[in-house]
Structure formats: structure tokens, C-alpha cells
Amino acid sequence: MIIALLALALRLCAIPFLPDVSSPYYAEYGEIVKNLHAGNGYSLYHMTDAGIQLWFDPSDRPYPSAYMPPGYVAFLYPFFWIETVPVRNVLIILAQALISLLVLAGAYRVTTIHFGETAGLIAALMVCILPEFIYASVTFSPVVLYQGLVLAFFLWFHHGEQIYFRQAVGSAVLIATATLFRSEFLLFGVAVMTIELCRKRYRKVVMITGFTILLLLPWAVRNTSALGAFVPLTTNGGLNLYRGHNPEQIGAWGDPVVLERLKLLEPGRDLEVRMQELFLRRAFEDIRAQPLEAFLSGFTKLFHLWVFDPGNERSQHPVYLVPWLALLGLFAIGAGSTRSWGRHQLLWLFLISSSLVAFVFFALPRYQTIMKIVIVPFAAYGMVALPALWRRLRGQQ
């Protein structure tokens, strides 16, 4: 309780230092919400004389969108009934700060289950004071909600042979909901089901997979109907792949060839589908032209995910970088001390799937923040194991 109260105080103290409090900008999520409130449906992009735009324009009707998954849009939607922007933003931040306390409690519980009570308290303290967790709680992004869903899945998922209806439905609800916040969670879900399948837990796999498909089906049907093409989850995969594989640099938004091709796109409800196809073609052109470089760039992107991105100013800031490197060192100690794949299987699968996404696509600092919620349990155990490791090293000397 003391750690939770400290965490809430730190998050509230951060609010006055944020430029977002008076800004009506919520990235693409906010533009979709504005269109929903304007009666334009779930839409984002529209065509202007300057080309394709995503910023809300009350005088223009945008095209249907599946660019951003609907989870965080649904979270933001009720707050937009409040017209006073600073009041709205403070309430959003307060809601996320309270959710971050659930994340802290989840990190404590997951760590306690895997590594014991002492490590659990250390994990809670880490989530409480680390700058990136505070920042994620008080900025407009789905990070803190997604972290909570990840931890909830770890706590809910049943490892054994038997599975009951309630457990299967709960697992499916968490997989589907997390996927509707960030689509890559589905890759983690597939990895978990693959492991269960290898262990011949067929009934369990069929039940969870079936319920997950049923829960995601309405979103897929809506996308296919609205955009006139099969879009099971999102239309941003092409752009994300392009940003990881393009002629300029990792993370680039568009080279001259892509920008010229975008200008030639005709308006229509399937605009996002054709944009995705354009970016996919350009990404594959780059991969085919330089296959070895494309493969090796994956390791650069893993460095960006696991260490820091030298092209991103925020990730180089000492307030961000120094605690992260300390956490990474403790993670290495904790992971090396456990030596148990089976006991911590879900945690490892999440780290592996996060790394695979970065290897194929690209990484941003917030992807690292998302992954840290699973690094924290190992790091907390590393701090517990540190005295014994130090004594062994001293004894060897």
C-alpha cells in the first residue's frame, strides 16, 4: 500500500510538467475518436489538395479506417464528451494513473508467484519509481493499459492439463482484448498455443483458440465490410514493415519513391488497404535488393529494443538510459540465476515474441517500455540474488 501511494503521488506530481495537458493531440487514436463523435464512424484518413491527411477536419468526410486497433480508442471515447481540453486530459491521465496502480499490483503478484515475496516487493518498487513507467502512465498512449492486460494474462492463464470453460473464456477474452490494443499480442498468443499443442493439450488449445476467434471476428467483419477487403486486424502492418526495411534508414516514414506513389492513390473506402499494399511492395523491394543487409538490420533493431536507439533523443537521456541499463544488468543476473525455462515459460515467450516483432519490423522506446513489464520480475529476482552472487565472486578471488 505504501508503494502504491508513492506511485500515485509520483504520477500526480508529473502532471504539471507535461505539455500534453493543454493539447488536444492524442495521435491517431484521438483523430479517430474525433471522427466518431462527429458522426463519421471509425475513420481516419481523408484526401486534400495537399495529399493524404489524417488530422480531423469537420468540413471533410474521412474514409473508413482499421489503421489503429480499437482498444485505446474505446478507452478515450467517453472522455471526449468533455469539451474543455485541460479538464479532459487531466481526467484521462488520472484514469491511467489509477490503472498504473493495478499494473504495479500485477507486477508484484506475477513476480511473487515466480520468484517470491521479496522479489515481488522489489518489482513493485521498480514499477513505482522508474521514469519510463511514470511517463507511460501520464501520456496519451495505450502502454499502461496494455501492460495491465499482459500481466492479467500471466495471472489468469492455466498451465496444467485440465482446463475449464471459465478458464478458457477468460484466457480468450484477455488475448482478444490485448490484441485489440496492440495487434502483436496475437503472435504471443499463437506462441503460447503452439507450446500447449506440443504438449498435446488439444482440448485446451481448441477451446481458447475458438473463443479468441469468435471474440475477434466482429472487428474483422467490420473491417472487411467497411474497407471492402479482408482486414483481420489492422492496416498498419505495411507501414511498420516499410519503416523497418526502406532505402533511407530504420524508422523512416517515406522515401521519395513512396511519397510520389502515395500522391497517385485514388480516393476511396479502401484507401488504407491500398496504402498498406504500397508500403508492403516498397518494403519487399528493399529486402529483395539487399537481402543480407535486411537480415543484419534485424540485429540493429534488436539493439534498439534491448539497449537504446542512438537516433532517438529520449532513449539517450541519462534519466531514461541509466536506470534502464541498471535494470538490464539486474535482468541478466536474475535470468542467469533462475535457469528454468518451464517455470517461467510465459515470461520468456513474451520476451521472445517482442524481440521477433522488433527484428522483423522495427522498435521504438515505448516498445521497450512495454517489454520492461516482463523484464522487471527477472530484474527484481536479480537484486535478490545479487548478494549471493557477490559472495561467490569474492570467494573465488
Instruction: Say what the pTM is.
Output: 0.93
CA 151 to CA 110: how far, in whole Å? Answer: 7
Handedness of CA 379, 303, 182, 201 (dihedral sign): negative
pLDDT in the model for residue 19: 64
- Domain assignment present for residue 83? The answer is no
Identify whether residues 224 and 244 lie together within a single domain: no
Task: Answer yes or no: is 193 within a domain.
Answer: yes
**Sequential pLDDT tens for the chain (397 residues):** 899 999 999 999 888 877 678 888 899 999 999 999 999 999 999 988 778 888 888 888 899 999 999 999 999 999 999 999 999 999 999 999 999 999 999 999 999 999 999 999 999 999 999 999 999 999 999 999 999 999 999 999 976 666 788 888 999 999 999 999 999 999 999 999 999 999 888 899 999 999 999 999 999 999 999 999 999 999 999 999 999 999 888 888 888 999 889 988 888 999 999 999 999 999 999 999 999 999 999 999 999 999 988 877 777 788 888 999 999 999 999 998 887 777 899 999 999 999 999 999 998 888 899 999 999 999 999 999 888 777 777 666 5
Distance CA 369, CA 23 (A): 23
CA distance 334 to 119: 10
Q: Which residues are CB-neighbours of 267 under 8 A, at least 6 positions away?
A: 47, 63
Does the residue 15 lie in any domain?
no
What per-residue confidence (pLDDT) applies to 311? Answer: 78
With cell 519509481, the residue in question is: 129
Which residue, among 16, 76, 79, 86, has the nearest Cα to 42 in the 3D structure? Answer: 76
**Residue where a domain terminates, one of 189, 207, 230:** 230
Pair 163, 200 in one domain: yes
Residue type at position 37:
H
The reported pLDDT for the residue numbered 318 is 86
pLDDT of residue 161: 62
Q: What residue numbers bound the domain in which 284 lies?
A: 236-289
What is the enclosing helix (H) or strand (E) of 285?
Answer: helix 271-289
- Total domains in the chain come to 2
What's the pLDDT at 41? 94
Give the per-residue pLDDT at 343. Answer: 85
Per-residue model confidence (pLDDT) at position 269: 92
46: helix, strand or coil? strand
* Residue where a domain stops, chosen among 273, 289, 305: 289
Task: Provide φ and ψ at 350, rounded to 5°.
Answer: -65, -45
192 lies in a domain? yes
Check whether residue 202 and residue 171 sit in a common domain: yes
pLDDT at 266 (0 to 100): 87
| pLDDT at site 329 | 94
Q: Which residue has the cell 514499477?
A: 127
Q: CA-CA distance, 343 to 312, in Å (whole number)?
A: 36
Q: Distance between CA atoms of 92 and 86, rounded to whole angstroms?
A: 10
In this structure, the answer to whether residues 180 and 204 fall within a common structural domain is yes
Environment class of residue 26 by beta-carbon count within 10 Å: exposed (0-12), middle (13-18) or buried (19+)? buried
Assigned domain for 261 exists? yes
Residue 173, in any domain of the structure: yes
